[in-house]
Amino acid sequence: MFLLFSGLAYGQTLSLKPFKDDLFAYPATLSSQDNGAYTVIDYREMRDINARDEVPERRAQAQYVETGVRKVQQDLSLKSGAGNIRHVAVGRTQGAGIIVLYLHGQGGSRKQGVDDFTFGGNFNRIKNLMASNGGLYLSPDFSDFGDTGAAQIAALIGHYAERSPDAKIFVACGSMGGALCWKLAARK
């Protein structure tokens, strides 16, 4: 997964209230640079996803999930110059202190990023972290992994950045969604 972020000064940290941190605890740190601004964490699919699942990648064990967050989840559409952008928003759509976007890979959709029970409960965790910390989590659809898709995501980011001007913005890209992260990073 590729992670693109803006809004934090060099060496500045961002603290979030915990959500099931004991269950999702970080494994070993493999390396760290720049006072922790760049950190590589040991990731193993069998441990970090499949071991949390009753059915691998399809159904997380109950203790990893809290579905009450659905009460602040909305399926929305934004009209933009790049086209209509359907997306799911979880948390504060205005005045958020942090915004996290998840860009799915080939064959995915906005619904993948808000599925509470897949991938070891990881999407449920990020939804709960954002909602309980005054943040916003976005999982959008986009037309492609090229320039049009990048324009749509940039429009979505711009819309919510205007509504939450002090928010730190993070973009997490899964698989083919990484192509959009690179395109967004290259934009001026």
60 and 125 Cβ atoms separated by less than 8 Å = no
Percentage of the chain beyond pLDDT 90 is 74
C-alpha dist (Å) from residue 162 to 47, 155, 176: 39, 11, 28
Which pTM was predicted? 0.88
pLDDT for 2 equals 47
* 50 confidence band (pLDDT: 50, 70, 90): confident
Structural domain containing residue 96:
2-8+15-25+65-186
**Average model confidence (pLDDT) across the chain:** 91
pLDDT for 48 equals 85
Q: How many domains does the chain have?
A: 1
| Orientation angle between helical segments 147-163 and 178-186, nearest 10 degrees | 70
131 and 71 Cβ atoms separated by less than 8 Å = no
Confirm whether 43 is domain-assigned: no
Give the Cα-Cα-Cα angle 157, 174, 51 (nearest 5 degrees). Answer: 130
Confirm whether 100 is domain-assigned: yes
160 and 87 Cβ atoms separated by less than 8 Å = no
* Biggest alpha carbon–alpha carbon distance for the chain: 45
Confirm whether 50 is domain-assigned: no
Confirm whether 48 is domain-assigned: no
Confirm whether 58 is domain-assigned: no
Confirm whether 160 is domain-assigned: yes
Which CATH number belongs to the domain containing residue 131 in this structure? 3.40.50.1820
Mean pLDDT to the nearest integer, 32-43: 89
pLDDT at 106 over 90: yes
Residue 183 amino acid letter: K
Confirm whether 166 is domain-assigned: yes
Confirm whether 56 is domain-assigned: no
